[in-house]
Chains A and B, each alone.
Chain A
Amino acid sequence: MTTPIELTELTKMYGTRRGLAGLTLTVEPGEVFGYLGPNGAGKSTTIRLLLDLIRPTSGTARVLGLHPRTDAVQLHRRIGYLAGDFVVDGRQKAGECLAFLASLRGGVPATRIIDLADRLDLDLNARVKSLSKGNRQKVGLVQAFMHQPELLILDEPTSGLDPLVQQTFLDMVTEAKAGGQTVFMSSHIMSEVEAVADRVAIIREGRLVALDTVADLRARSFLHVRITFAEPARAEEFIALPGVTDVRVDGNTLGCRVDGSPDALVKAAARHTITGLHADSQDLEELFHTYYAAA
Chain B
Amino acid sequence: MTTTTARTATPTTPTMVPGGSALARAFGRTMFTKTLYDNRRIFAVWAIATGLLAMMYASFYPQISADAMANVPEAMRGFGFDDTGTAAGYLQGAVFGLLVPLLVTFYGAATGARMISADEDTGYLDLLLAHPISRTRLLLHRYAALAAGALLIAAATLAAVLAVRNSANLDTITVGNFAAQAVNLALLGLLFGAVATSIGAATGTSRATAFGLTAGLGVLSYALHGFAPQIGADWLRYLTPFHYYIGGEPLRHGLQVADAALLAAATIALIAAGAWRLNRRDLGR
Interface residues of A (CB under 8 A from B): 48, 51-55, 72-74, 76-77, 79, 81, 83, 85-89, 91-106, 109-111, 113-114, 124-126, 143
Chain B residues with CB below 8 A from A94, complex form: 19
How many angstroms from the CA of A89 to the CA of B130 in the assembled complex? Answer: 15
Kindly report which residue of chain A lies nearest to residue B130, judged by CB atoms. Answer: A81
Interchain CB contact under 8 A, A53 and B126: yes
B16 within 8 Å of A (CB atoms): yes
Interchain CB contact under 8 A, A100 and B28: yes
A-B contact count (CB 8 A): 105
Interchain CB contact under 8 A, A77 and B132: yes
Chain A residues with CB below 8 A from B131, complex form: 76, 101, 104-105
How many angstroms from the CA of A275 to the CA of B38 in the assembled complex? Answer: 73
Kindly report which residue of chain B lies nearest to residue A109, judged by CB atoms. Answer: B13
Interchain CB contact under 8 A, A114 and B17: yes
Q: Pick from A73, A89, A113, A126: contact of B124, CB below 8 A.
A: A89
Interchain CB contact under 8 A, A96 and B127: no
How many angstroms from the CA of A247 to the CA of B275 in the assembled complex? Answer: 66
Chain B residues with CB below 8 A from A81, complex form: 127, 130
Q: Pick from A53, A74, A87, A96: contact of B28, CB below 8 A.
A: A96
Interchain CB contact under 8 A, B25 and A99: yes
Nearest CB of chain A from residue B144's CB, rounded to whole Å: 16
Known: A83-B127, A99-B25. A104 touches B133 (CB 8 A): yes
Interface readout for B27-50 with A: 1 if CB under 8 Å, 0 if not?
011110010001000000000000
Interchain CB contact under 8 A, B124 and A124: no
B123 within 8 Å of A (CB atoms): yes
Name, among B13, B20, B133, the residue most crowded by chain A CB atoms within 10 Å (CB to CB).
Answer: B20
Chain A residues with CB below 8 A from B34, complex form: 100, 103
B134 within 8 Å of A (CB atoms): yes
Interchain CB contact under 8 A, A79 and B20: no
Q: Pick from B15, B18, B38, B122: contact of A91, CB below 8 A.
A: B38
B24 within 8 Å of A (CB atoms): yes
Chain B: residues with Cβ within 8 Å of the partner, total of 31
Chain B residues with CB below 8 A from A114, complex form: 14, 17-18
Known: A87-B123, A95-B20, A103-B28. A110 touches B133 (CB 8 A): no
Interchain CB contact under 8 A, A93 and B19: yes
Chain B residues with CB below 8 A from A99, complex form: 17, 19-20, 25, 28
Interchain CB contact under 8 A, A76 and B130: yes
B283 within 8 Å of A (CB atoms): yes
Chain B residues with CB below 8 A from A87, complex form: 122-124, 126-127
B282 within 8 Å of A (CB atoms): yes
Nearest CB of chain A from residue B119's CB, rounded to whole Å: 8
Chain A residues with CB below 8 A from B134, complex form: 72-73
Chain B residues with CB below 8 A from A55, complex form: 282
How many angstroms from the CA of A143 to the CA of B127 in the assembled complex? Answer: 10
Q: Pick from A52, A95, A103, A143: contact of B19, CB below 8 A.
A: A95
Chain B residues with CB below 8 A from A102, complex form: 17
B163 within 8 Å of A (CB atoms): no
Interchain CB contact under 8 A, B18 and A125: yes
Interchain CB contact under 8 A, B132 and A86: no
B128 within 8 Å of A (CB atoms): yes
B258-285 residues with Cβ-Cβ distance < 8 A to A are: 282-283
Name, among A92, A106, A143, the residue most crowded by chain B CB atoms within 10 Å (CB to CB).
Answer: A92
Contacts A95-B18, A114-B18 supplied; 7 other A-B pairs, CB < 8 Å: A53-B130, A76-B133, A89-B38, A93-B20, A95-B17, A104-B131, A104-B133
Chain A residues with CB below 8 A from B219, complex form: none
Interchain CB contact under 8 A, B123 and A83: yes
How many angstroms from the CA of A95 to the CA of B119 in the assembled complex? Answer: 20
